[in-house]
A and B are shown apart, each in its own frame.
Chain A
Amino acid sequence: MDNLELLSDYSSFLREKKEEGKKIIGFISHDNIPEELFDAAGFIPLRLLFAGNDEFMDASHDYLPPSTCAFAQSCIGLFSLKPNQYEFLDLIDYFIVSNHCVSDICASEIISKRFDIPRLNFYIPYTNNENSIKYFKLELLELKKQLEEINGKEIKDENLKESIKKYNSFKRKLLDFSFLNISGSEKLKILQKAILYGPFFLPELESFFEQRSDNEIQTSFNSKEVLLTGGSIFINDPLIDLVEEGGGNITFFDSWIGNNYYSQIIANDILDSIKNPYDILVHRFKNNNFGDHSVPNFLENKILQLEKIYQDHLKKTGRKLGIINHIIKFCDHISLLSSHLKNRLQEKGIQVLNLERDYSRAIRGQLSTRIEAFLEMI
Chain B
Amino acid sequence: MKTCGVDIGSLETKMVLLDDKNIMDYRVGRSTFDFKRVGSNMFNELLEKHNLRKSEIYVMSTGYGRNTVSFADDRITEITAHARGVQYFYPEAHSVIDIGGQDSKAIVISEKTRNVIDFQMNDKCAAGTGRFIEVMAGALEVPIQQIGELALNSNNPASISSTCTVFAESEVISLFARGTKKEDIAAGIHKSIARRVAGMAKRIGVAPLLVFCGGVAKNIAVKKFLELELGFEIVTPVINGKSSAQLTGAIGAALIAQEQRSG
Which positions in A face B, CB cutoff 8 Å? 339, 346, 351, 356, 360, 362-363, 365-366, 369-370, 372-373, 376-377
Contacts and interface: CB of A to CB of B under 8 A. Distances in A.
A370 B121 contact: yes
Closest 8 CB pairs of A and B: A373-B79, A373-B77, A376-B80, A372-B77, A363-B124, A377-B116, A369-B77, A362-B124
Interface in B62-112: 64, 76-80, 103
Nearest to A351: B117
Nearest to A246: B77
A360 B123 CA distance: 12
B132 interface: no
B123 A369 contact: no
Contact of A365 (B64, B80, B119): B64
B22 interface: no
A339 B202 CA distance: 12
A366 B121 contact: yes
A373 B80 contact: yes
Question: Which among A351, A362, A370 has the greatest number of chain B C-beta atoms within 10 A?
Answer: A370
B118 A376 contact: no
Contact of A356 (B77, B79, B119, B123): B123
Contacts of A365: 64
Contacts of B121: 366, 369-370
Contacts of B115: 377
A79 B58 CA distance: 52
A377 B64 contact: no
Nearest to B75: A372
B77 A366 contact: no
Contact of B78 (A351, A363, A369, A377): A369
B127 to A, nearest CB: 14
A376 B123 contact: no
Contacts of A366: 103, 121, 123-124
Contacts of B64: 365, 369
Contacts of B77: 369, 372-373, 376
A339 B118 contact: no
Nearest to A365: B64
B79 to A, nearest CB: 4
A376 B79 contact: yes
B178 interface: no
B203 interface: yes
Question: Which among B78, B79, B103, B115 has the greatest number of chain A C-beta atoms within 10 A?
Answer: B79
28 contacts: A351-B117, A362-B124, A363-B123, A363-B124, A365-B64, A366-B103, A366-B121, A366-B123, A366-B124, A369-B64, A369-B77, A369-B79, A369-B121, A370-B119, A373-B78, A373-B79, A373-B80, A373-B116, A373-B119, A376-B76, A376-B77, A376-B79, A376-B116, A377-B80, A377-B115, A377-B116, A377-B117, A377-B119
Contacts of B79: 369, 373, 376
Contacts of B80: 373, 376-377
Nearest to B79: A373
Contacts of A370: 119, 121
Given A366-B123, A370-B121, A373-B119, 16 more contacts: A346-B118, A356-B123, A362-B124, A365-B64, A366-B103, A369-B78, A369-B79, A372-B77, A373-B77, A373-B78, A373-B80, A376-B76, A376-B77, A376-B79, A377-B116, A377-B117
A360 B76 contact: no
A320 to B, nearest CB: 13
Nearest to A354: B120
A339 B120 CA distance: 12
A370 B79 CA distance: 8
Interface string B147-158: 000000000000
Contacts of A376: 76-77, 79-80, 116
B165 to A, nearest CB: 15
Nearest to A360: B124
A363 B77 CA distance: 16
